[in-house]
Structure formats: C-alpha cells, structure tokens
Structure 1
Amino acid sequence: MWSLSYAIGMGILGSLTIADLQFRKVPAEILGAAGIAALVYQAVCRRESLWMILGGAAVGAVFLFLSWATKEKIGYGDSLAILILGVFLGLWGLVRLLSAAFALLALFSVALLIRKKMRRRLALPFYPFLAAGYLICIYGGGYL
C-alpha cells in the first residue's frame, strides 16, 4: 500500500499545500527538488515504461500551456506540480490522481454554490485537492 516513495511524495505535496494555502504561492526550490527527485526515482527504479513517463510529462506540458494561454488562471505552480507528478507516477497514475482531484474540486465548488459563497473572482488553491486526490488513490486502490 504505502511505499517510501509514496510517503515522500505525500510529504512534498503536504508541504506545498500548506504553502499554497498560506501564501498563495509555492516555493520554486521545492518544486525544483521534487522534479529532480522524480527524474532520479524513475532513472533508478524505472517503475513505469519510458512511454508512460513521457505521457505523464506530456499531460503536465499541456497544463503548462493552459497556464500560459489563460494568463495564469491555472497557476504555473499547479501545472509544474502536475508535470512532476506525471514523471513520478506515469500517465495512468497521473490520470487517476487528476480524476480524483478534479472530482473533489467539483464537489467543493458545488458546496460553495449551494451555500452562496461562490464569487466570480474566487480562486481556489489546487494543491489541497491534489494532495487529497493522492491520498484517495493510495488508499482507494493501493496503487497510483
């Protein structure tokens, strides 16, 4: 169920979640270190095939393009995390994680709409949903 790599991934996502909630920014140093760690992990352990790693990275690249195209309505930090998670988890692990994270985000948004707390300019931090989706994938299926 849990492996050391998953625990480290959760620790990184947890620290980035706290930074995102407090400051609405994430430290580039942590993202850089996480990116290097994901590359080293795949080079040493090679849990996924090269095509799955490249597929996960491609999904992250699409999100980086969306960050640029929407003038950062989707933050670059969120997109970089998706890119790093794509390298770490591979394509299908990333798809499962993003499905869980977006489902949670949708449920939270509906709850805000029902309570009439949603405003046009409201920007929700995405890292808490990424971290929660990560936990759901680990506990739900035991595999990302």
Structure 2
Amino acid sequence: MISPFAFDLIAFIFGACIGSFLNVCIYRIPAGLSIVYPGSTCPRCKTAIPFYDNIPIVSYLVLGRKCRTCKLPIAVRYPLVELLGGLFALACVRVFGPTLHGLVVFAFIAILIVISFIDLDHRIIPDVISLPGIPLFFVAAFAVPAVTWQARAIGILAGGGSLLAVAWGYHLFTGREGMGGGDIKLLAMIGAMIGWQGILFTLFAASAIGTLAGILAMLKSGKGMKLAIPFGPFLATGATLYIFFGDTLIEWYFHFL
C-alpha cells in the first residue's frame, strides 16, 4: 500500500511534468507553432534539450539556471510554471482525492495557467484555447457533482454576457476598448466549469485583486491611468480561489458584514 507521503510525492511529480508541457504551450501557441513537434528546444539557440536536462525544476537548478549549450539564462518562469503544476496537482489530490473530479479540476487549472501567462506576455487569450474550453469543461464538469448542468449553462451566458456588457458600456462612455474579447470568452469558459455562482465570486475577486495590483503597478511605473493590465490572470485567480476556498471566503465575507 502506498503511503500518504509517497502518494503526495507522485501527485507533485505528475503535476510538475504537466507544468513542463504547459511551458511548451505558453511559448508555442501564441507563435502558431505545434505543441507536439519538435521536442523541447532552447528558445534562444534552438538546440534540442535532452531528457536529462528536461527534468522539471531539478534541471533548472542543476544547470545553474543556464542552457547547457548557449549558456544564456533560463527564464525563472519555466521552473515557476512547473512548481505551480506540482502544487496544484498536490492540492487537487488533497482536496478531492484521486478521483475524476480532482483530475478535471487540475486540467481546468492547468488551462488557466497557460492562459494567464500568455495574457501576461502577449495581452491576448487565444481562441484556440478558450472557445473549445467552453463545451469541453461544460461536459467534463459532470464529474463535479456540486455544480448542476443548469448552473453551468447559466454560467456560460452570465460569464460571457457580463463582461460583454461591461466592454460595451466602457466603449460607449469612453470611446475606447477597455475589455478584450478574450476575457469575455475566458469567463464563459470559467462559467462552464464552476457555474453562475462561481462567476459572481470570480468577478468580485478578480476586480478586487486586479484593482490592487493595478494601483501598485501604476505607482511603480509612473504611467498613471494609461497603464494597460491584462485581466485574464485575475479572472483565473478568482476562479481558482472559488474552487478551493469559495464557500469559506463567502461565509467569512457575510459574517464580516
């Protein structure tokens, strides 16, 4: 029988390996490249990375944070994404157990990680991820017994519709685009997974965290209100918080009021 520690370790390693693949997606999808072929290569010198230099987190440390061939620094984002993959896989196992429910939640969070980092880098949320994600997670979420299919259907409409209304209103009053279409589709995908109740929480949390981050970023940059900040990572953060802490945070909020 596998001990709890060994099981947790297996979950973490599995998640870290998935995180390594997520790095490939983050780099290649915006560039229109295949995420399957060729194998992992250094983004600077394009040299193929052997398997012993592609061990999640470990290789980054063993290589001294540099490519073995060109000696240029490896971005810290690579081990960070692998670490996030490992930690979220561990969290899913701890909260949901080794179940289909846990696997679906982990897949959803993995997609959110890819979307978040692409949005940070390129200010886009690729349709190739979010649009298929809407029906995919609507169906996959049947493994999530706490959310009915009716709540998920309303979540798709409420998620996409709410941000569409905000974008339309902002453009009407300012004459400028303030909300990208990618955010609208992302929130529809989130609604397909966690339902309309989760959409309300996600929007509130994303707005609160995004406002705080925006203020700090504006103070640091000195650009004032002209600074553009991607909203996708905050939506992803809000959805993830809802999955793991939604009930607790909502209860705390109403108790505080």
Structure 2 Cα separation of the partners of residues 81 and 120 of structure 1: 24
SS class of match (2:224): coil
Which deviates more from structure 2 when the two are superposed, residues 67-76 or residues 88-97?
A: 67-76
Structure 2 Cα separation of the partners of residues 128 and 107 of structure 1: 13
Structure 1 Cα separation of the partners of residues 240 and 142 of structure 2: 24
Instruction: Determine if the alignment matches structure 1 residue 89 to structure 2 residue 199.
Output: no
Q: Which residue of 2 aligns with 1:63?
A: 163
Identical columns (%): 25
The two structures have a TM-score, normalised by structure 2, of: 0.49
Asked whether the 8 Å contact 1:109–1:118 carries over to 2, the reply is: no
Q: Which residue of 2 aligns with 1:18?
A: 117
SS class of match (2:225): coil
**Shift of the alpha carbon at 1:41?**
2.0
SS class of match (2:164): helix
| AA of the residue aligned to 2:215 | V
Q: Please, which runs of 5 or more residues in structure 1 have no aligned partner?
A: none
Change (3 A) 1:81 1:35: same
Q: Which residue of 2 aligns with 1:77?
A: 182
**Shift of the alpha carbon at 1:43?**
5.7
**Shift of the alpha carbon at 1:79?**
0.9
Find the structure with the greater CA-based Rg.
Answer: 2
Name the structure where helix makes up a greater proportion of residues. Answer: 1
Match of 1:52 among 134, 144, 151: 151
**Shift of the alpha carbon at 1:44?**
6.7
The two structures have a TM-score, normalised by structure 1, of: 0.81
Change (3 A) 1:117 1:9: farther
* RMSD value, Cα: 2.7
Aligned residues: 144
Asked whether the 8 Å contact 2:131–2:185 carries over to 1, the reply is: no
**Shift of the alpha carbon at 1:101?**
1.4
**Shift of the alpha carbon at 1:8?**
0.9
Match of 1:130 among 225, 235, 251: 235
Asked whether the 8 Å contact 1:48–1:90 carries over to 2, the reply is: yes
Q: Deviations over 1:48-86 (max 9, x none)?
A: 334422331232213123334425311110011111111
Which deviates more from structure 2 when the two are superposed, residues 29-38 or residues 43-52?
A: 43-52
**Greater relative contact order (Cα < 8 A, sep 6+):** 1
Q: Which residue of 1 aligns with 2:86?
A: none
Q: Which residue of 1 aligns with 2:209?
A: 104
Asked whether the 8 Å contact 1:19–1:26 carries over to 2, the reply is: yes
Q: Deviations over 1:96-141 (max 9, x none)?
A: 2222211111211232355463523211101221222233333434
SS class of match (1:120): helix
Structure 1 Cα separation of the partners of residues 239 and 149 of structure 2: 22
SS class of match (2:228): coil
Structure 2 Cα separation of the partners of residues 44 and 126 of structure 1: 28
Structure 2 Cα separation of the partners of residues 88 and 136 of structure 1: 14
Change (3 A) 1:52 1:118: farther
